Structure 1
């Protein structure tokens, strides 16, 4: 399942409005004469339409998850995004990384109403609350080490990472009182990228793309989802992205701790503070000016406290902490 879309959902009638061809394709991929007899539209995402589907008529009902790109921008890029995700799900099916099983992909909408990918439903749910946030962060760090240790033959490696921020595109928040902080951050990413030792990256690893079950000592990760941005690049960049997300969700200090947890779990990051700072700032600036890209789905999943004002303050506090430690 792709859980940047979350586990919260709304029941819908089983009808053919807008997805009759897709539904027929799903039933063909499910096999055995099964039929879609229950649909739940999943909330919490902005890139895709997500449906949780029950397939009956084949003995024990089976549950599948359907991702469809509907927005014009993502439809335009669907071939690359969904083909990449399908390839990665196949690759990771032979590893210890907990991923959904691929059941079918139609990246060009040759058979479906929209470009779509069908996969198994993983157990667990996205957990974004403050309770046990530190414990979840420990598990996130360990899981990220496991992802970076995946060995990929040269011919099967994903694309080289793409940056999501550039000096000319950064827009500081209009109401900021820390213009010097933003200027310093932009100046950091004007330099050429540091040298790095490349590895396999999720590239969009954050708490909204990880499923958990249990509590306390029984808390565990049951799924890592949303592999459309998978890349080849520096481990620092994956750590940076998850760190920014944790800073926005739980405050700057939680964002600062992830790299230490990652290293304690056996991961390797740049030993040059200036290089590590570059990757951390590069990722943080991709969320300027107000982090609404992630805040909208996070609020849909219960974090209504994440207002634009709070997120701006947390992002600026996080940048300040980065400079104090690495700059």
Structure 2
């Protein structure tokens, strides 16, 4: 196997497991690290196909850090179930090839899937068009009706674990924290991606420019859950607010409704889900900002993202509180 990058080397037992999933005569000829993930190692594997003399690509996802390994059986099993389900829908998702959620055959828990064309786009050009596309895609995801529901969503923060950014208005943050001390509002359950955001959506930008962009794939289905549509919308809203400025968080929710999505009717209920997701980011700003900088958004230092998070929480409380 030719290594594109020393870090791309696939560990021996994992390599043997992958090889057993291939067609007769196929072999791995190249491995390349895919950057941008936070919780898993991602590699693109190029497979030589002798019948036609061409190649095809697969993606290997492995959980290697101790925290992820502890949760890998649940995460990878849910992802495998989601990818199997989505083959019967119009949602563009990778195809499942094989999964080893307990590392019975691999060095680490792993999932092998088809490679999808396209790339993540995190820059400012063409943002308005992409926001509309993201909204329409999320509506389509929420329309999926699984035969067996995935597990109920899990909240990612509590009122006692929120980290108030340095220099933030203490009164505003105290009021926001009080919002999530209350019980969750009632909701109609939907199939949730649970980490739907620009970093997990692949785009093709056509020669006509950003206005000709289209979504080619949605990846990372390990957190698939059942819960309120508001929660997925809130998560994408927070990501957009931190990537592009606080106003884009509220604009995404509006785009979702224009695309036919249904959100909570009461402002107080919408506020609950939006604030809950925003406050969850307070605990992991450093981890969120790092892959964005690696993707070229070098201005998004930890401090810059904290300031945007503070501004976004303030806008939410001013607008809906």
Q: TM-score scaled by structure 2?
A: 0.95
Is this contact kept in 2: 1:290–1:312, CA < 8 A?
Answer: no
SS in 2 for 1:50: strand
Question: Where does 1:2-81 land on structure 2 (aligned, <5 Å)?
Answer: 11-12=4-5, 19-59=11-51, 60-81=54-75
Is this contact kept in 2: 1:105–1:116, CA < 8 A?
Answer: yes
Residue of structure 2 equivalent to 1:5: none
Question: Where does 1:172-251 land on structure 2 (aligned, <5 Å)?
Answer: 172-173=164-165, 175-214=166-205, 215-251=209-245
Residue of structure 2 equivalent to 1:286: 280
Is this contact kept in 2: 1:18–1:113, CA < 8 A?
Answer: no
User: Any stretches of 5+ residues in structure 2 without a counterpart?
Assistant: none
Residue of structure 2 equivalent to 1:300: 294
Equivalences, count: 314
Give 1:184 deviation, angstroms.
0.8
Residue of structure 2 equivalent to 1:313: 307
Give 1:290 deviation, angstroms.
6.2
1-structure distance, mates of 2:31, 2:94: 19
Which range moved further: 43-52 or 184-193? 43-52
Report the RMSD for the aligned CA atoms in angstroms. Answer: 1.5
Residue of structure 2 equivalent to 1:158: 150
2-structure distance, mates of 1:74, 1:186: 28
Question: Where does 1:43-122 land on structure 2 (aligned, <5 Å)?
Answer: 43-59=35-51, 60-122=54-116
Which range moved further: 82-91 or 291-300? 291-300
2-structure distance, mates of 1:14, 1:165: 33
Residue of structure 2 equivalent to 1:128: 122
2-structure distance, mates of 1:18, 1:133: 36
Aligned structure 1 segments of 4 or more residues deviating by more than 6 angstroms? none
Is this contact kept in 2: 1:134–1:254, CA < 8 A?
Answer: no
Give 1:61 deviation, angstroms.
1.1
Is this contact kept in 2: 1:198–1:234, CA < 8 A?
Answer: yes
